[in-house]
Amino acid sequence: MAQIKATNLNIGYDNNVVAKNLCFEINKGDYVCVVGENGSGKSTLIKTLLGLLPKLGGNFEFAEGLQKTGIGYLPQRTDFQKDFPASVKEIVLSGCLANKKFKVFYSKKDKILAEENMRHLEIFDLKNKPFSVLSGGQQQRVLLARALCSTKDLLVLDEPVSGLDTISTHEMYDVLKKLNQSGITIIMVSHDLNSVTKFASHILHIGKDVFFGTAKGYEQTPQFKKLVEQGGHNNGH
């Protein structure tokens, strides 16, 4: 059974429909990239799936049990305050709060999980550093570690590499690839068409002409060619 299944889903803000009639089916282990022009509703789709925005029509459902284990979410980096006083450890641990009913202290298990994820993403040495002094790539890995504390199944990422330098971007893609190979489903909004077609198993293109299918098939579509021509976010072929 599909992990997420959407039928004729309409999304948007404040009753303004941005994209409509989205149909897609995401299975466990898929690596789905959401692409489209600016303002086509990519982030809106993510926020709707996460329950941050109400859907404006149609339907989508999660596989049973998915919501219990939780969804890992990596928001856009622009959403954060620069001067927020928080250590790396505090932020990663906060991912362990997901779906817990009530909890005054973190359990031993939470702390071990957070430590594992920090080691895995090579930020364990930074655990007592303030978030605000880290580089963009390090901050993204902290937020990814937090997301991993809240899920074992599904990661949802909103432009994880925007604003990162080339090296950090590559590292980010490597990490995501490994996570995907370990069985975690990935849904990612991206502007970076090269990498999208290289790493993703499926593409969801939203805009005037909706496309959902394999990454191979997407490269043959007029939507892909149009996005490449516009080239604004395509970092050279």
Partner 1 sequence: MDISFWDIICQDYVIIALVVVLLTALCSSLFGVTLVLKRFSYIGDGLSHAAFGVMAVAAVLNLSNSLWLTLPITIVVAIILLCGGPNSKIKGDASIAIISVSALAIGYVLMNVFGTSPNVSGDICSALFGSMSIVNMGTTELFVAIGLSVFVLVVFVLLYHKIFAITFDENFAKATGTKTKVLQVLMAIVLAVLIVLAMKLVGSLLVSALIIFPALSAMRIFKSFLGVTIASSIIGVCCAFVGFLLAVLIPSLPVGATIVLVNLVSFGIFSCIAAFAKKAA
Task: Give me the residues that bind partner 1 (CB under 8 A), please.
Answer: 14, 47, 50-52, 67, 70-73, 75, 79-81, 83-87, 90-91, 93-95, 97-99, 103-106, 128, 130, 132-133, 146-147, 150, 156
Element (DSSP H or E) covering residue 11: strand 4-13
CB of 105 to partner 1, least distance (A): 8
- Give the Cα separation of 85 and 187 in Å (integer): 30
Cβ at position 140, least distance to partner 1 in Å? 14
Pairwise CA distance, residues 219 & 197, whole Å: 7
Closest to 208 in 3D by CA, of 192, 221, 193, 195: 221
Pick from 24, 19, 20: nearest CA to 61: 24
Pick 41 or 75: Cβ nearer partner 1: 75
Residue 2 or 66 with smaller CB distance to partner 1: 66
CB nearer to partner 1: give 101 or 237.
Answer: 101
- Rounded distance between C-alpha atoms, residue 20 and residue 175, angstroms: 32
| Eight-state DSSP code of residue 29 | T
Residue 15 beta carbon to partner 1: minimum distance, rounded to whole angstroms: 12
* Closest CB 203 distance from partner 1, rounded Å: 23
Closer to partner 1 by Cβ: residue 149 or 215: 149
Which is it for strands 154-158 and 71-74: parallel, antiparallel or unpaired?
parallel
DSSP-derived pairing of the beta strands 185-189 and 31-35: parallel
Residue among 12, 153, 154, 142 nearest 88 (CA):
142
Beta carbon of residue 237, minimum distance to partner 1 (angstroms, whole number): 34
Whether the CA torsion 38, 42, 43, 45 is positive or negative: it is: positive
- How many residues are there in the chain? 237
Q: Return the number of the residue (38 or 84) whose C-beta is nearest partner 1.
A: 84
Nearest-approach distance from CB 233 to partner 1, in angstroms: 23
Quick one: 6 or 155, whose CB is closer to partner 1? Answer: 155
